[in-house]
Amino acid sequence: MYMGLKFYLKKFFGRVYHFLERIKNVVHHWTIETHYNVLVDKPVIIASSAKIDIIMGGSIHIGRDTQILDGVLILTYGGHIKIGTNCNINPYTVIYGHGNTTIGNNVLIAGGCMIIPSNHNFHDVEEQIIKQGCTSKGIQIEDNVWIGHGCSILDNVTIGEGAIIAAGSVVNKSIPPFSIAAGVPAKIIRNRK
């Protein structure tokens, strides 16, 4: 008799938990979609643990059929972030806006990537680096790009259409369309055409 009660209690509280999780997701989506500088073209999937926020101004536009998974951070830092349609941004990727970030359509970004369009200035050895400010020129990722796990995409870079960036690469120079790049720093290892 006791085992039956325990089973039904577990089942009941499991359903309550899942119901509350659904409500949390709805509220999370509503909070993002009603922000005055965030435009989300529906339908999209945004995990409840993803953080999408306007910091120091800027704007965010997320295209339809895009998936933003667990732990992703999308923060403007005064710049503009545009993510195209049908993109997949996998867990724990960080995308900043500083000097503007543009991601095209049908882009795959694996987990743990960093896309940061800003660099600290460090030319004056007499001054602390933290006091020298930043330079922010922007990042552009064109359509149909695949960025492998754990990549870092640095400021003033364009990744051309159809390019593939191998896992763990650091991209500090622009990559031509339909190239495969790998390494630290990333170098072109092959052309797809």
Catalytic residues, by residue number, are: 120
Residue 83: alpha-carbon gap to chain centroid = 9
- Residue 126 CA: distances (Å) to CA of 16, 119, 120, 132: 60, 19, 15, 10
Q: Which two tokens stand for residue 189?
A: 């290892």
Q: Is 186 helix (H, G, I), strand (E, B) or coil?
A: coil
**Apex CA 53: angle with CA 131 and CA 87, to 5°?**
110
Give CA–CA dist 142/149, Å, rounded.
18
